[in-house]
Amino acid sequence: MISESKIHEHFSGLVVRKDLSKLVKGNALVPTYVLEYLLGQYCATNDEESIASGVDTVKKILSDHYVNRTEAELVKSKIKEQGRYKIIDRITVALNDKSGAYEATFSNLGLKKVIVDSEYIKEHPKLLVGGVWCILDMEFRFEDDPKHNNWIIDTLKPIQISNVDFESFAEARKNFTTQEWIDFILQSLGLNPDELGERNKWFQLVRLVSYCENNYNLIELGPKGTGKSHVFSEFSPHGILVSGGEITLPKLFVNNSNGRLGLVGYWDVVAFDEFAGAGKRVDRTLVDVMKNYMANRSFSRGTEQLTADASMVFVGNTSKSVSYMLKHTHLFHDLSDKYQDSAFLDRIHFFIPGWEISIIRNEMFTDGYGFVVDYLAQVLKHLRFHDYSDISRQYFELDSSLSTRDKEGINKTVSGLLKIIYPHREIPKEEIEYVLRFAIEGRKRVKTEIQKIDPTFDPVVFQYKDKDTGEVSEVITNEEKRYPRFFRQEGAHDDRTESDRQQYEEEQRKTSIKNVEPSHFTVSENQTGVSYTRLFGDYLEGAKRIEIVDPYIRRIWQIRNFVEFIQVVLAVKEEGEEVDVHLITDNGETSRIEMDQHFGDLQDSLMNVDVNFTFDIATGKKLHARSITTDTGWKILIDRGLDIFQRHNTGVFAIESVSQESRFCKAFEITYLRID
């Protein structure tokens, strides 16, 4: 763990304790960078007495000056009665074409058409698009003129650090090891590095590359709950997060009716949340303009050609497991078909495999010290005007088969990560190679999946040569290692139609079902050596749908039994195939809300292992017969349902907690019937 004394020795006054944001936030719905901007003014110290005093000060500032929508009228009254009053609110400015005046709209205070001095617009042009959090001195001057707006902005200051001393920052970096620095950056993002694996740490870092690298195009697809959008909504005043459903050509690039620039003209990072969704309606023209911008940094306004530096980030949730996507489609499966365009996807520089990133848990947040996020954001903004990719090219050469876009994607990722981790440019060769391999992997994931969508793309080899030794190394993604049979070898070709392929797979499924017979037997009380695998495994093999009727799947230990049953389903099903598992149970005396929560959590966890879990809670109905039915023609009658084991030792080192065969059974009978 990184030493707090070292942090304060080299970055005194620029760091805050990361749990303080939660202490001061209260009902203030503001991004982390706004809170830490205030905390940085009063709590950038490790002196506990000063921190306590500073927290009280920030709480009072938020209490007195942050505009809560429910108290907007009270704040307006304070401005009127006091004549002048300081507020914290998010404002967006627009030019009134008729009057020629700039007019502000206040998100929480609810005011509109408040005049803004043009000098503020010249100094802070982002006020014109997307909205900016500001500290403002407001006045109320009543005039008996219906055309006059009585609300006056006396002073306006966006909440962001204005400048940083990068040379001092880079010099101080030399006092930290690589691992210490990575952990320090992660703590600055509010994460506890001790709870993150090594690859997880690097995926968190690559999210930041879009802030320090111009025109960097990043995509992250994976299960929900991994914090994909957090960095783009909370971290920096230079980035904006928009909903995937809110993307329009005028909003993103330019409104040709009035010539007003869109988001890419004002923000360093434009991130699209909820980008996945196969059923979403997407404007084909927008996709074409995005393709051109992502490749050439340019877009048109009438006959005028404009350029911008904004990076584009696309984050979205997956609905299928990795194995399913690799076997049946591709890793871009959940994007709208308009975005499943090989030319569009080829502009993406790095694909973060969200399925490798841990679901966010409370213990993953840190209470240690990190940079005030706005300070770090300013450092990264400064680095956008530097290129570090030359460091890698001194030692390593990319394979000649790689396209220009492949090399550009790899070099941009390398440059961005080196800026973040090694701003002082002093890097051991073996660490440069690690960064290079990581960057190649992210681009290879993009290109491999594109080639499934569009086989006309030329085959390439993602390898590099060490210039000193001449040694050539290839980079393999984790998906290739885990599922090698889903990656077609070069030159392989499948002439079958889709219907022929599906018919063949169905025949294979039927012939793979083991030759098991109807039977009946009894298990006596205290018998051991019994497991769900022995009882059900052979009868579940090959099934695509399984229905369980059991009224006693409601208590925690009973739901654990059900999860162990799902383990058997996973063990016997074919890799890359989905199984529908439907449970019919009864809540009895258990809260329906509690059961919905537990089963909802189970649905989320199973989504990425090819099990589509659904459930019906038959409240008020009497379920008697307990059974398991498969679409392969088996019905299993078990008089105790899945609750066949006696209470057992669940201690950390108890073998019964992991081995069903070591548990004592209750007495029960089981019958296997053919029903087809």
43-47, 143-147, 225-229, 509-513: range with highest mean pLDDT: 225-229
Give the pLDDT mean for 229-233.
Answer: 91
| Mean pLDDT, rounded, for 288-316 | 91
Distances (CA, A) of 602 to 229, 322, 607: 23, 18, 9
The reply to whether domains 4-12+164-383 and 519-674 share a CATH topology is no
Separation between Cα atoms, residue 89 and residue 68, nearest integer Å = 9
The label of the residue with tokens 């204005």 reads 162
Give residue 345's Cα distance to chain centre. 19
CA 581/CA 568 separation, integer angstroms: 12
Separation CA 107–CA 670 (nearest Å)? 64
Confidence of residue 621 (pLDDT cuts 50, 70, 90): low
pLDDT of residue 514 exceeding 60: no
In sequence order, the 6+-apart residues with CB closer than 8 A to the CB of 12 are 44, 45
Return the pLDDT at 620: 63
Give the pLDDT confidence score for residue 492 in this predicted structure.
41
Residue predicted with more confidence, 277 or 540 = 540
Q: Which of 171-175, 213-217, 486-490 has the lowest mean pLDDT?
A: 486-490
pLDDT for res 404: 96
List pLDDT tens digits, range 624-640: 789 999 999 999 999 99
Q: Report pLDDT for 433.
A: 97
Does residue 204 carry a pLDDT above 70? yes
* Average pLDDT of the residues of the chain: 89
Residue percentage of the chain with pLDDT more than 70: 95
Q: What's the confidence (pLDDT) of residue 180?
A: 97
CATH T-level assignment (fold) for domain 69-158: OB fold (Dihydrolipoamide Acetyltransferase, E2P) (2.40.50)
Query: Does position 1 have pLDDT exceeding 80, yes or no?
Result: no
Q: What top-level class would CATH report for the domain 4-12+164-383?
A: alpha beta
pLDDT digits (tens, 9 = 90+) for 104-135: 999 999 999 999 999 999 888 888 876 789 99
d(CA 254, CA 307): 11
Does residue 489 surpass a pLDDT of 70? no
- Evaluate if residue 442 carries a pLDDT over 50: yes
Residue 503, pLDDT > 80, answer: no
Please give the pLDDT value at position 498. Answer: 58
pLDDT at residue 66 is higher than 80 = yes
pLDDT bracket for residue 393 (50, 70, 90): very high
* Residue 95: Cβ within 10 Å count: 16
pLDDT at 511 over 50: no
CATH class, domain 519-674, is alpha beta
What is the pLDDT, as a whole number, of residue 490?
43
Q: What is the pLDDT of residue 512?
A: 46
Task: Give the strand order in the sheet containing 463-466.
Answer: 396-398, 463-466, 472-474
How far apart, in whole angstroms, are the C-alpha atoms of residue 136 and residue 109?
Answer: 12
Q: What is the separation, in whole angstroms, between the first and last Cα of the chain?
A: 62
Segment 386-405 mean pLDDT:
96
- Alpha helix (H) ranges present in 271-316? 284-296
Name, of 206-215, 319-328, 351-360, 510-519, the range with top average pLDDT: 206-215
Average pLDDT of span 144-157: 86
Rounded CA separation 439/253 (Å): 29
The stretch 453-481 carries a mean pLDDT of 93
Q: Where does the pLDDT of residue 432 fall: very low under 50, low under 70, confident under 90, or very high at 90 and above?
A: very high
Residue 419 pLDDT > 70, yes or no? yes
| H and E: helices and strands count for the chain | 24, 26
Least confident of 30-44, 162-176, 387-401, 459-473: 30-44
Does residue 271 surpass a pLDDT of 90? yes
Cβ atoms within 10 Å, residue 172: 18
The per-residue pLDDT for 571 is 93
Q: pLDDT at position 526, please?
A: 82
Coil, strand or helix at 562: helix
651: exposed, middle or buried (Cβ count in 10 Å: 0-12, 13-18, 19+)? exposed
Cα–Cα distance between 353 and 441 in angstroms, integer? 10
Write the burial class of residue 619 (CB in 10 Å: 0-12 exposed, 13-18 middle, 19+ buried): exposed
Domain boundaries, the chain: 4-12+164-383, 69-158, 389-486, 519-674
Three-class SS of 109-163? CCCCCEEECHHHHHHCHHHHCCCEEEEEEEEECCCCCCCCCCEEEEEEEECCCCC
| pLDDT-based confidence at residue 33 (cuts at 50, 70, 90) | confident
Q: Which of 67, 104, 72 is nearest to 86 (CA)?
A: 67
pTM of the full structure? 0.80
